[in-house]
Amino acid sequence: MAKKKVFNIGNALSSGLEETISAAHNYSGELRVDIIPIKKIEVDPENPRDFLINIDELYKGISTSDPNFSRKTQEKESLETLAHSIKEQGILNPIIVYKHAEKYRLIAGERRTLASIIAGFNDIQAKILDVKPSSLKISVLQWIENVERSDLTLWERLRNLEKIVSVYANSKGTTLDQVTITELSNLIGCTKPHAINYKAVLISDQEIKNLIHENKIKSLEKAALLSNIKSLDIRKNAIDACLNGAQLKKLKMIAELGLEKNQLGKIKSIEKRGRQLSAVNFGGTKNVNVARLIVDSVLSHNLLSHISDYFKDIDWNDYKSITDTFKQLVKKLEELHVK
Amino acid sequence: MAKIIVNATHKGGEGKTTNSIMLAEYVALILGLKTLVIDMDPQANFSGRYIPMEYDPANKGGKIPSLHPDYDANEDHTWDGRSSIGNIFYGQEVIPYPTLIPNLELLPAHSSKLQDAEAVTKSEVLEKVHLQLKRFLELPDVQNEYQIIIIDTPPSKGPLTIAAIKAASHIVIPSQMEQFSIEGIYGMLQLWKQESYSRSKNNPISLVGILPNQVRDIKLHKQFLSGLSKMNSVGDYVMPHLIKKRAIYTEILVEDANPKSIFELPKGNVARQEYESACSFIMEKVLNG
């Protein structure tokens, strides 16, 4: 009999259809990405800006009588590289704006907007929020936008974070140091180990903060490690090593050595591996004299003199014979000490 | 707010126009709602169902709407007497045509105007075409006049279809249960997905569903339909009603057909019942979410 014909919608098409519908379900209204005219974008007056130069000046040119002419020119030049890449590749991530009357106000993406103008574009991809988000939400969005930027120093990132965490703590009626690791990791969307590091640095003392500010400590992990060292002596050592360019591993060693010194006198519990022992192991020796000393000492015990006859014919030149003797000795002793 | 329903799929021959006609006549004749139908397809078939269309002397093969019944050459000096949805792309006034069906008015196609809008180049598209229909339909005059607006689209994913989707509150995707047609559904779902991302929460675009169309009693159609219905999340959007392949659906479209509308057939007629239950399902979703 001929094989029955079965018609299937192909796998690729099926999964494509399913993915499309569930994506539309999960993100409808959330990812309002559209292309908007750059001329309709304005900066948020309530938000501190990094740039002096503004959108108008990029279109019309910077006035030479402007007291900030040289700084603005510098800023423009600093945007050229980004502008070049935007010209080639477009912007990779849309900027974030919210609707303000007829205009769009920037939440994140000032550099991309300015650079797009230099690149000669009239419009730009933007993620559009319908209403102005709370200041906490704005800070968090800016944080997420900036966290991947390589040109931000640790100090700049911490300053942003401090702002976010303070606003958050305020809204909860607590203080910065009471914000938990879980809250922190939820707030900025990072892993817990990362949040632990941030928290440690946020509540660290002025000395470490100063070093970060001076850009002498650039790594979050190192800063967190240093912040966690309680002993001032050890910390000083670690800081010195860090400033001399020690790797994180080295710093960890210094911190741990300090730890051991603090705990001198205590017996460190030995790390256990494998199955637990259920019997006493006597160990071994190559030294026949040691074996002989043990056997003789045991047999000379006055309660054991009666068994010494069993152990008369030991060949003290043969490891096998001595080992067998030990086995028999233990066996005999066990017989005498049955509980 | 008037509900705006788009019948869309970029594959041709799936039944967009037929479905738009049936739905429009159901809404106007059976539900008695004030209805505007808009023909965005330069082929202008949909328009030709309700008003006489003329061949465009300036554009071989293209069509233009006939003179508007309200046009008076002695009074109207600034108007040439014709009006089409194409006008909105040229900043011109738009005057809907009455039809023989009560409650139903038409904004007909104008082949060359729509073709030009469809052919605009990239940088112009956004401002000139994509949002133009939406802006027009949001005018208080339009919103106050109609309860339901139904848009027929060309078989493409071009600017005209996108304009219709940007204006829409609801999408219906008519589709045959065949390989290329289902690939067409996929393409349309992409547009819907993209558009739904960009809508705000209080102005969503709802996918009413996929309407299995021209279904024949053959294994291919049955198995594709059941395959589609069984898919995760997709299954929820396959309408529980289907339209079979019947001669009556094309016979009713000829010029001297009698009766003119499927909804003027006796109530017990199988074809009428079939379309009535599909249209009733669609309108239930549109009107009551």
* DSSP strand pairing (B35-39 vs B104-107): parallel
pLDDT of B69 > 60? The answer is yes
Q: Distance (Å) from the C-alpha of residue B151 to the closest C-alpha of chain A?
A: 22
Domains in chain A: boundaries? 27-133, 134-215, 229-261, 288-336
Question: What CATH architecture does domain A27-133 belong to?
Answer: Alpha-Beta Complex (3.90)
Q: Which of these ranges, A172-181, B45-54, B103-112, has the smallest mean pLDDT?
A: A172-181
pLDDT digits (tens, 9 = 90+) for B246-277: 999 989 988 888 888 999 999 999 999 999 99
- Whether A39 and chain B come into contact, CB under 8 Å, resolves to no
- Whether B122 and chain A come into contact, CB under 8 Å, resolves to no
Q: Distance (Å) from the C-alpha of residue B243 to the closest C-alpha of chain A?
A: 20
Q: Which residue of B has its CA nearest to A99?
A: B200
Considering only the beta carbons, identify the residue of B182, B197, B220 that sits closest to A31. Answer: B197
Residues 90-149 of A with CB under 8 A from B: 122-123, 128, 130
- Listed in sequence order, the residues at least 6 apart from A316 whose beta carbon sits closer than 8 Å to its beta carbon are A288, A292, A322
Q: Which is the CATH superfamily of the domain at B3-288?
A: P-loop containing nucleotide triphosphate hydrolases (3.40.50.300)
**Largest separation between any pair of C-alpha atoms in chain A:** 116
If we measure between CA atoms, which residue out of B234, B223, B183, B231 comes closest to residue A8? B223
pLDDT of A33 > 90? The answer is no
Are B233 and A25 contacting, i.e. CB atoms less than 8 angstroms apart? yes
Give pLDDT, residue B225.
Answer: 94
Q: CB-based burial of residue B278 (10 Å sphere; 0-12 exposed, 13-18 middle, 19+ buried)? A: buried
pLDDT of A29 > 70? The answer is no
**pLDDT-derived band of residue A52, with 50, 70 and 90 as boundaries?**
confident
A57 token code pair? 């000046």
Whether B199 and A13 lie within 8 Å, measured CB to CB: no
pLDDT of B22 > 50? The answer is yes
**pLDDT-derived band of residue A148, with 50, 70 and 90 as boundaries?**
low
Whether A7 and B224 lie within 8 Å, measured CB to CB: yes
Of residues A313 and B106, more confidently modeled? B106
Of residues A4 and B61, more confidently modeled? B61
> What are the CA-CA distances from residue A270 to residues A259, A273, A283 (Å)?
17, 9, 18
pLDDT digits (tens, 9 = 90+) for A236-284: 888 888 888 888 888 888 887 765 554 444 444 555 566 777 888 888 8
- Whether B234 and chain A come into contact, CB under 8 Å, resolves to yes
Whether B198 and A9 lie within 8 Å, measured CB to CB: no
Angle between helices B179-198 and B159-167 (to 10 degrees): 60
State how far the Cα of A54 lies from the Cα of A47, in Å rounded to an integer: 14
Q: Report the range out of A175-179, B71-75, B163-167 with the highest average pLDDT.
A: B163-167
pLDDT digits (tens, 9 = 90+) for A155-200: 888 888 888 888 888 888 888 888 888 888 888 777 888 888 888 8
CA–CA–CA angle B107, B238, B287 (5° rounding) = 50
Q: Which of these ranges, A68-77, B22-31, B95-104, B108-117, has the smallest mean pLDDT?
A: A68-77
Enclosing H/E stretch for B182: helix B179-198
B107 token code pair? 């904004």
> What are the CA-CA distances from residue A13 to residues A8, B54, B179, B186, B232 (Å)?
10, 42, 10, 8, 13
Give pLDDT, residue A265.
Answer: 43
